Amino acid sequence: MRVLVAAASRHGSTREIAQVIGEQLCEMGIATDVKDARDVISVEEYDAVVLGSAIYVGQWLADARELVDTRAAQLLNRKVWLFSSGLADAPSKDANNAPALLTRMKNTGAIGHRHFPGKLDVLQLSLAERAAIMAARGKYGDSRDMNVVREWARSIGEAITLDHPVNA
């Protein structure tokens, strides 16, 4: 049994969330690969896939969207969980393209989707990004809680090992 954790990240913070998910699954004895979404050529060798993306201007990044679009048939035959990372809070979190998320969940047969608060580091942003954040009155800082991420990953690990006992 093998699990893929893939993420699309522009400035690295979503990649770190994916790494924490991968570490948690490995600690549970589950063979796990963590990859950038753009490096995923096939998901054939995996029994389950955890796929996430940072959100920019209400959208998943193109690498993650393309992975869903090009591998939907394969993903439908696997256990799939999705996650998003962004800084919009409710109610503005609803502006993060809810219809697209629902379509994505349907097209992948995803068991669940989780939104994690992200990170905004002014030093990492381009001038255009800084201007967009200023216009949106966005707040800088790291809002990620890796314990919450680990907890979610643990629940995924438990769901996976129910069907594929690790020591069987």
Ligand X SMILES: Cc1cc2nc3c(=O)[nH]c(=O)nc-3n(C[C@H](O)[C@H](O)[C@H](O)COP(=O)(O)O)c2cc1C
Q: Which stretches within the chain are classed as H helix?
A: 13-27, 62-76, 98-108, 127-135, 146-163
Tell me: cis bond preceding 91? Omega within 30 of 0 counts: yes
CB of 7 to ligand X, least distance (A): 7
3-class secondary structure, 5: strand
If one asks whether residue 68 binds ligand X (CB under 6 A), the answer comes out as: no
Task: Give the Cα separation of 122 and 129 in Å (integer).
Answer: 9
CB of 131 to ligand X, least distance (A): 9
| Cβ proximity of 45 and 14 under 8 Å | no
Of the candidate spans 20-28, 51-59, 74-82, 154-162, the one that interacts with ligand X by CB under 6 A turns out to be: 51-59
Nearer to ligand X, 97 or 161 (CB): 97
Nearer to ligand X, 82 or 120 (CB): 120
Sole binder of ligand X in the list 58, 109, 112, 141 (CB under 6 A): 58
Nearer to ligand X, 25 or 55 (CB): 55
If one asks whether residue 120 binds ligand X (CB under 6 A), the answer comes out as: yes
| Cβ proximity of 8 and 61 under 8 Å | yes
CB of 60 to ligand X, least distance (A): 10
CB of 152 to ligand X, least distance (A): 16
Query: Cβ atoms within 10 A of the Cβ of 31, count?
Result: 12
Of the candidate spans 21-29, 39-47, 56-64, 103-111, the one that interacts with ligand X by CB under 6 A turns out to be: 56-64
Task: Give the Cα separation of 124 and 102 in Å (integer).
Answer: 31
Task: Give the Cα separation of 17 and 9 in Å (integer).
Answer: 10
Q: Contact residues for ligand X (CB under 6 A)? A: 9-14, 54-58, 85-88, 96, 118-120, 125, 129, 132-133
